[in-house]
Amino acid sequence: MFSSTGNPYFTAMPEDRMQFEITEGSAIKHPRYSGLLNAWTLSFVGALVAILYLVYSRPDPYWRILKFLPDGILVTFQVTTASIFFALLLGLLTGLGRVSGNRIVNVVASTYVEVVRGIPLLVQLFYVYYALGRYLQVPDMVAAVLAMSVCYGAYMGEIFRAGIQSIDKGQTEAARSLGFSKRQTMFLVILPQAWRTILPPVGNEFIMLLKDTSLVSILAVTDMLRRGREFASETFYYFETYTLIALIYLVITLLLSRGVAHMERRLSYD
């Protein structure tokens, strides 16, 4: 027997000049990846050049805006990192709860996930900040981080659950049969293996969280967007301010997403 499987290669047929085409190109090995790669470079370099150009060519609003933002950018990062930290903790607990054999723990964790994923983040932010504010006396930043963590904890929980469930059950059986308790099995055998599966989606959540911290600007937490809004409301440079802010977000998230892609590739290799 010689050939038995279909030919996995397909060739380009450049004869048609239609606008949208089915890819059949084989020249590029990973057309998807390299497509985005080029788009990445284009977007990143484009955003950077645009920022520099605007600041140099029209320093009047743009350099003023840029000078106005740094503490806001810092707050954005602070909220993001603090939130991701607590979201990870909460996500770990939730993930463990979701795979728990204990019916009650399981339902509690699942309900948390269902409820939190069913309510818009903005509503949760308002709720924690203003509504619960009456009963829970916390500073702004803490309220913002709390709301973000509770929300993202649910998503993280699903990531942890998937990561834990991706580990072969034979690992659990082997550990248990050696005499490890359930807890030891989880923390010594399952989780140390699961992090490879967990890390890349966590990276994506980090980026999403960074973007979503823009919502805290509504709570008078002076993040980057809030600073921009303040500037614009004073100077009426709405267009210029939002342009610059969008570009800065873009640069930051593109850098992060490159990092995540890099991590993903490294994890998938060895």
Ligand X SMILES: Nc1ncnc2c1ncn2[C@@H]1O[C@H](COP(=O)(O)OP(=O)(O)OP(=O)(O)O)[C@@H](O)[C@H]1O
Q: Which residues bind ligand X (CB under 6 A)?
A: 2-3, 7, 9, 11, 26
Span of 1-9, 125-133, 167-175, 251-259 interacting with Mg ion by CB under 5 A: 1-9
Cα 23 to Cα 16, 31, 236, distances in angstroms: 12, 9, 47
Q: Is 214 in the site for another protein (CB under 8 A)?
A: no
Among 56, 115, 181, 255, binds another protein (CB under 8 A): 181
Among 68, 112, 155, 206, binds another protein (CB under 8 A): 68
Q: Is 3 in the site for Mg ion (CB under 5 A)?
A: yes
State which residue has the least CB distance to Mg ion. Answer: 3
**How is the chain classified by DSSP, letter by letter?**
----S--------TT---SS------SSSSHHHHHHHHHHHHHHHHHHHHHHHHHHH-HHHHHHHHHHSHHHHHHHHHHHHHHHHHHHHHHHHHHHHHT-S-HHHHHHHHHHHHHHHHS-HHHHHHIIIIIGGGT----HHHHHHHHHHHHHHHHHHHHHHHHHHTS-HHHHHHHHHHT--HHHIIIIIIHHHHHHHHHHHHHHHHHHHHHHGGGGGGGT---HHHHHHHHHHHH--HHHHHHHHHHHHHHHHHHHHHHHHHHHHHHHH-
Closer CB to a second copy, 35 or 59, in the complex: 35
Q: Find the shortest distance in angstroms from Cβ 233 to ligand X.
A: 58
The listed partner (ligand X, Mg ion, another protein, none) that binds 20, CB under 5 to 8 Å by sort, is none
Q: Is 5 in the site for Mg ion (CB under 5 A)?
A: no
Can you say whether residue 10 is alpha, beta or left, with left for phi > 0 and alpha for psi between -120 and 50 degrees? beta
Q: Is 20 in the site for another protein (CB under 8 A)?
A: no
Among 52, 130, 262, 266, binds another protein (CB under 8 A): 130
Q: Is 60 in the site for another protein (CB under 8 A)?
A: no
The listed partner (another protein, Mg ion, a second copy, none) that binds 19, CB under 5 to 8 Å by sort, is a second copy
Query: What are phi and psi for residue 10, nearest 5 degrees?
Result: -140, 145
Q: Find the shortest distance in angstroms from Cβ 43 to another protein.
A: 26
Span of 98-106, 152-160, 214-222, 256-264 interacting with another protein by CB under 8 A: 214-222
The listed partner (another protein, ligand X, Mg ion, none) that binds 57, CB under 5 to 8 Å by sort, is none
Cα 147 to Cα 18, 135, 160, distances in angstroms: 49, 15, 20
Point out which residues bind Mg ion (CB under 5 A). 3
Point out which residues bind another protein (CB under 8 A). 1-4, 6-7, 9, 11-15, 26, 64, 68, 71, 126, 129-131, 133-134, 137, 139-140, 168, 170-171, 173-181, 184, 188-189, 192-193, 218-220, 222, 226-227, 229-236, 238
